[in-house]
Amino acid sequence: MQLKRMFSLAEARGTRNYIDSQKKYEIARTLFYFALSLSLFMAGVIQTGERANILSIVAVLGCLPASKSAVSAIMFLRFKSLSTQAADEIGRHSQGLACLYDMVFTSYKKNYCVSHLAVCGNTVCGYVEQDMEERHSPEFNENAFYEHVGNILNMDGHRDVTVKVFKNLQKYTERLEQMKALEAEPARSQAVINTLKSVVL
């Protein structure tokens, strides 16, 4: 029951509090994997009286997924979810829009953490929470982000998509209200969302 609960901590990408819940999941999974490898190693030593045994080999191989999980945990520890206050405020202005939370876009040079995204057809708007920006992206390069996301969307066949990021919450919520008046096919919005979700942490 405890094991099932531990692995149920993971949530789908783009959901509210995704980063914070994923941190707990990744840490729990990493500890479980390393504990399992250690227990196998100890069992082998106790059973045979020496370190060179089959269980030791299995324990060493078990460190590979444990190490991979540790790297993932470290990545998530670098970021945090959109604050409750900002999420509540955005929620009051985003009814009817397709939205994504806690989106960390990775690239070879830099990671871009966008706290919230709203999609309406070929229009994508995002909000970068200031506290998050100061901790993890002190120089959030908007032009580089636009180019990165634009290339991803183009490669997936989405043409003429406009992307705009806001750092001011009030201006962002005003833009959300404007987006409600835009006409867009839900299928196109969902296709853009699927592409964005496929390239984030």
Phi, psi of 96 (to 5 degrees): 90, -10
pLDDT in tens, 63-85: 899 999 999 999 888 888 999 99
Residue 92 DSSP SS3: coil
User: Phi and psi dihedrals of 86, rounded to 5?
Assistant: -70, -40
Residues 178 and 127 in one domain: yes
pTM of the shown model: 0.79
Strand, coil or helix: what is 100? strand
How does pLDDT run across 6-22, given as a tens digit for each residue? 444 445 888 999 999 99
Q: How far apart are CA 112 and CA 182, in angstroms?
A: 27
DSSP E strands: which ranges in the chain?
A: 98-106, 111-120, 123-127, 162-166
Range of the domain at 53: 2-77
User: Are 180 and 113 in the same domain?
Assistant: yes
Q: Find out whether 56 and 45 touch, Cβ atoms under 8 Å.
A: yes
Co-location of 164 and 108 in the same domain: yes
Average pLDDT of 36-59? 84
